[in-house]
Amino acid sequence: MNYKYFDNAATTRVKAEVLQAYNDACNEFFNPSSLYTPSLSVKNKIEMARESILRYLGGANKSTFIFTSCATESNNAVLRNCIKRKDKKYIISAGEHSSTYNTAKAMINEGYNIDFAPLNEDGSVNQEVLFSMIDRNTDFVSLIHVSNETGAINDIKYIAKRCKQINPNILIHSDGVQALHKIKLNMVNLGVDFYTISSHKINGVKGIAGLYIANPNKFTPFIYGGGQEMNLRGGTENFPAVMAFSKAINLPIMEYDTVRELKQTLLDNITVPYKLISTDKCVPNIISLCFKDLRGETLVHMLEVDGFLIGTGSACNSKNTANRVLTEIGVNQDYILGAIRISFETDCTKQDMIDLAYAINKNVELYYSKTKK
Amino acid sequence: MEQVILIRFSEIHLKGKNKGYFLKLLYTNIKTALKEYKKVITPIQNRVVVSDYDVDDEDMIIREIKKVFGVYSVSVASVIPSTIEDITDFCAKLDISGSFKVDCNRADKTFPIKSNQMAADMGGVILDHCPNAYVDVRKPETVVHIDIRENGKTYIFDKIIYTYGGMPLGEYRDGLLLLSGGIDSPVAGFQMAKRGLRQDILHFDSYPYTSPQAREKVISLAKQIKNYIGCRYMYIVSMSKLQEEFHLHCKEEYAITLLRRAMIKVATILCERYNYKTIITGESLGQVASQTIESITVTNSMAGNYPILRPLISFNKDEIIKVAQEINTYETSILPYEDCCTVFLPQNPVIKPKIKIAEIEETHIPLSELIQKAIDEIIVIEL
C-alpha cells in the first residue's frame, strides 16, 4: 500500500543523495585505525565530516563533536558524565525523551539526587520553577530543545544563561534531536556544554547520531575502546553512516512558513472537536492533538487502513498508561488516551493535509458511532 | 571412554498393552526434538540412549530433551561393558572426596552379583582408592549410580536431571488452545501438553482496537510454546465486529460474557471444521469476573459436545507465573500490548451471569451471521 507518511518525529525517509553517500562509502571498507594509506583516506573523510557537522552547529573554540550509535547513547553518555557525585543536585525536565528520562530514573535508584522540572501546558519547561530549583549546589541541567511529543520549544539560550548566572559551574545539556533542521542552531549562541543530535530524524540513516562537546576536558568516555573519536568514544567508526550524516545535515533547513501553513490547513479542516496541545510557539511540524473519549492507538490503526501513517501520543496498554509527557502537562484524563501526533515535512502538499483532515473526521466519527451508546 | 546421555521414562511402564505405542511416540518425539543435532539415538530396554554427539552440544541437547514430555529424567553417563572387572576398574579410577554412596540397579538379572552386594563392593573399591572419601548413605555429597542394563552395558553417572515427566505428546493435534497474550493461556497449553495433548492455537484479536504488535506478541508466544505443545497452525479470528455489536445493542455488563460465549462458539466451529476434539483455556476459578463458576457455566454452554479443558482452574496466580517463567513465556506475556478483552471493557462486568439473559441479549444482534463472517475472515498462520 502506498502510505502517506505523517510520523516524521519518529523517523524520516532517507533522501536519495544521503543513500548515495552511504553506498559510496560502503566501498571504502577499510578500518580507519589501520596503518595503510586506504585507511588513512577513510580516517580523513571522517574528520572532514566531523568538521562539517561542527561547522554546521557553530561550535565553540575548543569544542568537538563525536559520533555515537544513536541519540539514546549520546544522552546516556552525557548523564553518566555529568552526574557523578551523590552530594550534588541535578535537574532534568519532566518532558525529556525516554532516553534521558529513564536514564535519570535509573540513576535516582542508584542514589543520585535528580529532580524533574515541571512543564507548561504546551510541554515546554516551566522556567520560573526551574530557576527556583537551581542553587549553587546544582551541577547539571538537561533540557530537551524541542519536545518530541508536542513540538514545544525550550528557550535554551535564555535558560542556559540564567542557569550559569545562578551557578557558573553548572553544565548544560540539551537534547536537540527534534530541533535539528527545524531551528537554526549555533552552539556558542545557545551556551550549552553538550548537545545531542541524530541523523535519522533529518533524512539520514539510522545507527548514527552524535554529541557536541564544548570542552572535551569535561568529558570522560561512556564507551571505552581502541581510542577512536579522540579517545572519547571507543568502537570502530561507522564510516558509511558518518558520510550519510554529514550529507544529511547539510540538506536545507525546514521552511517555517510553508510548514506553518500546512499545519493551519490541517487544523482548519478538522471538523470533529479536538484539543490542541501544540500551540503557535511550538515547531509547526509536530502537532499533538487529543480527542475526547477515544483511543489514539485505535485511530492510528483506522487511519492506516485509509493509507495515512501517524504517530500516537500514547501507546495505551491494558493498564491504560497514558503518555508520560502529556500526563506531566496535565492533559485531562478524558483526552489523554485519545492523543495523536502528526509530524510532517515540506514534501507534503496542502491537499495531503486536507485529505488527512477528512480521514481524521471520518474515522473519529466512525469511532464514536461504534463505541458510544 | 564413551559418554552418552541416558534418558528415562515416566509413567509409560504403567501402560500395559499400549506400552509399545507410547514408547514409539516418545522415541519419535525425542528424535524430532534433536533433529538439529548430530547424534545417534538408540532405544534400549526402558531407556533411550543418545550417543555419538558433539560434546559441545551436550547442554543444548539436554535442554531440548527436557522439553519432551514422557521423559522422566536424564543423565550424562559413562558406558562400560557389564563385567565385574570393567566396573571395578572404572570405580577404582574415580576421584571422589567427601561423603558418597554407591547406588546399583541390576536390570540385567544375568549379572552374577546382586544390586546391594555390588553397591557395597564398589563402595569398598572407592574407599580403597580415594583417601578423602567416606560413606554416608543418608546425605551423601556424591552418588555413584551404576546402572547394569540388559544390553550388556553398564552406565555409570553421578547426576540425575529431573524433567517434566508426563505423557508423550500424541501423534495428532487433538486440542485447540485459546491463546490470548496474557500469562495464563500459554501455561494452560503447556500443562495439557504435559499430559500428551498436542494442540493448535486459536487467537482472537480486535484490530483496529488493538495493535498489530499485540498480534505479533501472541505469534511469538505461540512460537515459544511450539516445542512443548507441538502446534503447527495458529488461527486468528477478529472479534471487532462482534464487540462493536455487543457494545451497541446488548447490556453493557454482559459485554465480556457475550464475547466469551462467541469465542467458544467460534472455537467449536473450528473444532468441527479441523477435527479438534477439545478446547483448552487458561481460566482459573475466581481470578476475574469472567472466571466465576457462574461465568464459566454460561460460556461452557456454548461448547456443545466439546469438552473445555481448564488445567489452571485450581492454580493461584503465583503458581501460574512460576510455570510461565519456567517455560520462558512470562516476559513476552507481560509486554504492554492490549489484548482482545480490554477494549470495550464494561465498568462493572456481571459476576454471576445467567444463561437465559445471555441468550436474550444475543437475540439483539445477528449473532450466527457475525460469527460466520468472523470465521470467513480467519487468518491461518503456519508456525
Q: Tell me how far apart the alpha carbons of residues B89 and A265 are, in angstroms, rounded to a whole number.
A: 91
Same domain, B225 and B139: no
Contacting residues of A for B365, CB less than 8 Å apart: none
Instruction: State how far residue A175 is from chain B, nearest Cα, in angstroms.
Output: 27
B19 lies in a domain?
A: yes
Instruction: State how far residue B327 is from chain A, nearest Cα, in angstroms.
Output: 23
B63 lies in a domain?
A: yes
pLDDT of residue B214: 86
pTM equals 0.85
Percent of chain B with pLDDT over 70: 98
Same domain, B111 and B231: no
A4 lies in a domain?
A: no
Nearest to A68 by CA among A212, A244, A187: A212
Asked whether the CA dihedral A5, A8, A11, A15 is positive or negative, the reply is positive
A8 lies in a domain?
A: no
- CB-nearest partner of A317 from B212, B248, B336: B336
Same domain, A260 and A243: no
Percent of chain A with pLDDT over 70: 97
> Does B27 have pLDDT greater than 70?
yes
A98 lies in a domain?
A: yes
Nearest-by-CA chain A residue for B245: A370
Would an 8 Å CB–CB cutoff place B344 in contact with chain A? yes
Same domain, B261 and B147: no
A348 lies in a domain?
A: yes
B281 lies in a domain?
A: yes
Q: What is the largest CA-CA distance in chain A?
A: 74
B327 lies in a domain?
A: yes
Query: pLDDT for B338-364, tens place per residue?
Result: 665 566 888 889 999 999 999 999 999
> Does A315 have pLDDT greater than 60?
no
| Record: contact B342-A304, CB cut-off 8 A | no
Same domain, A77 and A36: yes
Query: pLDDT for A178-193, tens place per residue?
Result: 999 999 999 999 999 9
Same domain, B156 and B72: yes
Same domain, A150 and A60: yes
* B246 band by pLDDT with thresholds 50, 70 and 90: very high
CATH classification of the domain holding A279: 3.90.1150.10
Contacting residues of A for B347, CB less than 8 Å apart: none
CATH classification of the domain holding A202: 3.40.640.10
Residues whose CB falls within 8 Å of the CB of residue B365, separated by 6 or more in sequence, listed in order: B245, B246, B249, B250
Nearest-by-CA chain A residue for B252: A373
A5 lies in a domain?
A: no
User: Domain boundary residue among B142, B162, B182?
Assistant: B162
pLDDT of residue B338: 63
User: Domain boundary residue among A204, A222, A249?
Assistant: A249
Mean of the pLDDT values across residues A89-111? 97
B370 lies in a domain?
A: yes
Number of domains into which chain A is organized: 2
Would an 8 Å CB–CB cutoff place A26 in contact with chain B? no
Range of the domain at A344: 254-371
Same domain, A36 and A169: yes
Same domain, A169 and A222: yes
| Helix (H) / strand (E) containing B184 | helix B184-194
Same domain, A208 and A157: yes
Phi, psi of B65 (to 5 degrees): -65, -35
B167 lies in a domain?
A: no
Q: What angle do CA A149, A154, A156 make, to 5 degrees?
A: 140
Percent of chain B with pLDDT over 90: 84
Outline where DSSP puts E strands in chain B: 2-9, 40-44, 47-51, 71-81, 98-106, 133-135, 142-148, 153-157, 161-162, 173-178, 198-205, 233-238, 278-280, 308-309, 379-382
Would an 8 Å CB–CB cutoff place B334 in contact with chain A? no
Instruction: State how far residue A358 is from chain B, nearest Cα, in angstroms.
Output: 19
Contacting residues of A for B339, CB less than 8 Å apart: 318
Q: Are A193 and A212 in contact (CB under 8 A)?
A: no
Q: Are B135 and B99 in contact (CB under 8 A)?
A: yes
| Beta bridge pairs of residue B29 | none
Cell of B287: 481470578
Same domain, A76 and A207: yes
pLDDT of residue B342: 60
Contacting residues of A for B249, CB less than 8 Å apart: none
> Does B12 have pLDDT greater than 80?
no
User: Domain boundary residue among A249, A280, A309?
Assistant: A249
| Record: contact A373-B247, CB cut-off 8 A | yes
Instruction: State how far residue A338 is from chain B, nearest Cα, in angstroms.
Output: 12
Same domain, A335 and A242: no
Q: Judged by CB atoms within 8 Å, which residues 231-290 of B form the interface with A?
A: 244, 247-248, 252
Same domain, B91 and B151: yes
HSE toward the beta carbon, residue B363, CA cutoff 13 A: 5
Same domain, A120 and A168: yes
User: Domain boundary residue among B162, B187, B213?
Assistant: B162
SS3 A121: coil
A22 lies in a domain?
A: yes
Same domain, B141 and B177: no
CATH classification of the domain holding B45: 3.30.2130.30
- CB-nearest partner of B208 from A298, A315, A373: A298
B69 lies in a domain?
A: yes
Query: pLDDT for B82-120, tens place per residue?
Result: 999 999 999 999 999 999 999 999 999 999 999 999 999
Chain centre distance of CA B116: 37
| Record: contact B247-A371, CB cut-off 8 A | yes
Number of domains into which chain B is organized: 2
Q: Tell me how far apart the alpha carbons of residues B202 and B380 are, in angstroms, rounded to a whole number.
A: 9
Contacting residues of B for A338, CB less than 8 Å apart: none
User: Domain boundary residue among B141, B162, B183?
Assistant: B162
Q: Tell me how far apart the alpha carbons of residues B235 and B379 are, in angstroms, rounded to a whole number.
A: 6
Query: pLDDT for A258-309, tens place per residue?
Result: 999 999 999 999 999 999 999 999 999 999 999 999 988 899 999 999 999 9
Nearest-by-CA chain B residue for A318: B338
pLDDT of residue A313: 62
> Does B81 have pLDDT greater than 80?
yes
Range of the domain at B280: 173-382
Phi, psi of A278 (to 5 degrees): -80, 105
In b/e form, how buried is each residue of B205-233, taking b as 16+ CB within 10 angstroms?
bbbbbbbeebbebbbebbebbebbbbbee
**Bond into B346 cis (ω within 30):** no
User: Domain boundary residue among A193, A214, A249?
Assistant: A249
Q: Tell me how far apart the alpha carbons of residues A359 and B213 are, in angstroms, rounded to a whole number.
A: 23
> Does A316 have pLDDT greater than 50?
no
> Does B50 have pLDDT greater than 90?
yes
Q: Tell me how far apart the alpha carbons of residues B114 and B124 are, in angstroms, rounded to a whole number.
A: 15
| Record: contact B208-A302, CB cut-off 8 A | yes
A295 lies in a domain?
A: yes
Same domain, B246 and B206: yes
Nearest to A83 by CA among A63, A67, A65, A106: A106
Same domain, B158 and B179: no
HSE toward the beta carbon, residue B217, CA cutoff 13 A: 25
Query: pLDDT for B282-304, tens place per residue?
Result: 999 988 878 899 999 999 999 99
Substitution target in A298, A340, A372 with the highest count of B β-carbons within 10 Å is A298
Same domain, B143 and B218: no
Same domain, B177 and B151: no
Same domain, A237 and A259: no
| Total count of residues recorded for chain B | 383
A298 lies in a domain?
A: yes
* A320 band by pLDDT with thresholds 50, 70 and 90: low
pLDDT of residue A364: 97
Same domain, B121 and B228: no
Same domain, A49 and A180: yes
Mean of the pLDDT values across residues B155-180? 94
CATH classification of the domain holding B367: 3.40.50.620
Same domain, A244 and A261: no
Task: Give the mean pLDDT of chain A.
Answer: 94
Q: Tell me how far apart the alpha carbons of residues A314 and A312 are, in angstroms, rounded to a whole number.
A: 5
B270 lies in a domain?
A: yes
| Beta bridge pairs of residue B240 | none
Mean of the pLDDT values across residues A354-373? 93
| Beta bridge pairs of residue B75 | B6
Same domain, B139 and B235: no
